[in-house]
């Protein structure tokens, strides 16, 4: 397989565990590859999102009639219950601890802080979420913001990857005053220990959270700049 086919197979969930791990390792030291993967993930998500609303539409009577009046058709399929609380259960406690500890290695304020409301962004993570616009992200930034979108709740949410010693990725949503961390996942370790070189491809579990919450399509650069200018207020 050439690299294009590997990226496609990765995004489509067609790689073996081993091949997937290999590609993730390569992406972790090759930002251009990571960016290509992210673009393909973005395309797949846009397509999925574009047609998903059809599933929730009421079924026209003529189609029900075509199937047969004798067959009872229930309510049109609604989406499964929306994700409302961070699904920390899916995240092993040790991993979370590693991420939080790892987040301090860069020095400065910790990137993740706990408050009564749960986990919130701090330090370099908070400032990246608040001010980084992808077009201006520098290759050496410790935190790279990925997709920005409006959630069904009306909040703005952004995905990010943090290139700490133990790289991690996550989803943060903006409530009235802070960036709430709603999902976190560890990234493959960085080869050669170069903490600045970690990739920015989103782990699929984070992407799944995005798919679950997004309203419409991700913001384009202009809409993103606009939302930032308005302080990320819904």
Partner 1 sequence: MSRDVESVRGGIAELLPRLRRFARSLTRNAADADDLVQVTVERALGRAEQWRPDSPLVHWMFGIMKNAWIDESRSRGRHRRWFVRDVDVEDVRLPRSGDAGDLLSVTAALELLPDEQRLAVTLVLVEGLAYKEAAAVLDVPIGTLTSRLARGRQALMQLLGETEQTS
CA angle 213, 47, 2 (to 5 degrees): 115
Residue 99's SS3 state is helix
Start-to-end C-alpha separation, the chain: 44
Nearer to partner 1, 9 or 195 (CB): 9
* Smallest gap from residue 103 Cβ to partner 1 (A): 31
Nearer to partner 1, 58 or 116 (CB): 58
* Smallest gap from residue 48 Cβ to partner 1 (A): 6
* Smallest gap from residue 194 Cβ to partner 1 (A): 22
* Smallest gap from residue 76 Cβ to partner 1 (A): 6
Residues interacting with partner 1, by CB under 8 A?
4-5, 8-9, 12-14, 32, 35-36, 39-40, 42-44, 46-48, 50-52, 54-57, 59-60, 62-64, 66-68, 71-73, 76-77, 216-217, 219-220, 222-223
b/e map of 140-157 (b: 16 or more CB within 10 Å)?
ebbbbbbbbbbbeeebbb
Question: Rounded to whole angstroms, how far apart are CA atoms 167 and 179?
Answer: 19
Beta strands in the chain (DSSP E): 112-115, 118-121, 143-150, 156-162, 168-174, 179-186
* Smallest gap from residue 150 Cβ to partner 1 (A): 9
Nearer to partner 1, 75 or 177 (CB): 75
Nearer to partner 1, 77 or 92 (CB): 77
Q: 197: closest CA among 155, 135, 139?
A: 139
Question: Rounded to whole angstroms, how far apart are CA atoms 101 and 108?
Answer: 13
Nearer to partner 1, 12 or 194 (CB): 12
Would you state the structure tokens that stand for residue 234, as one six-digit string?
Answer: 């819904």
Nearer to partner 1, 69 or 81 (CB): 69
Q: What is the largest CA-CA distance in the chain?
A: 68
* Smallest gap from residue 193 Cβ to partner 1 (A): 28
């Amino acid at each position: 397989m050439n690299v294009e086919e590997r990226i496609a197979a990765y995004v489509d969930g067609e790689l073996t565990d081993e091949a997937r791990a290999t590609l993730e390792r390569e992406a972790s030291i090759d930002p251009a590859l990571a960016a290509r993967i992210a673009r393909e993930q973005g395309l797949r998500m846009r397509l999925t999102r574009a047609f998903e609303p059809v599933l929730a539409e009421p079924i026209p009577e003529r189609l029900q009639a075509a199937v047969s009046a004798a067959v009872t058709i229930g309510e049109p399929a609604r989406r499964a219950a929306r994700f409302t609380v961070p699904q920390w259960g899916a995240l092993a406690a040790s991993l979370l601890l590693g991420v939080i500890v790892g987040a301090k290695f860069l020095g400065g304020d910790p990137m993740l802080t706990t408050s009564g409301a749960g986990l919130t962004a701090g330090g370099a993570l908070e400032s990246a979420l608040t001010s980084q616009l992808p077009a201006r992200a520098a290759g050496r930034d410790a935190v790279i913001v990925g997709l920005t979108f409006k959630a069904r709740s009306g909040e703005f949410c952004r995905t990010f990857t943090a290139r700490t010693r133990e790289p991690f990725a996550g989803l943060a949503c903006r409530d009235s005053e802070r960036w709430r961390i709603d999902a976190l996942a560890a990234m493959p370790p960085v080869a050669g220990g170069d903490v600045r070189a970690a990739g920015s491809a989103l782990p699929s579990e984070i992407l799944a959270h995005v798919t679950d919450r997004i309203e419409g399509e991700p913001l384009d650069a202009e809409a993103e700049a606009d939302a930032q200018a308005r302080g990320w207020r819904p």
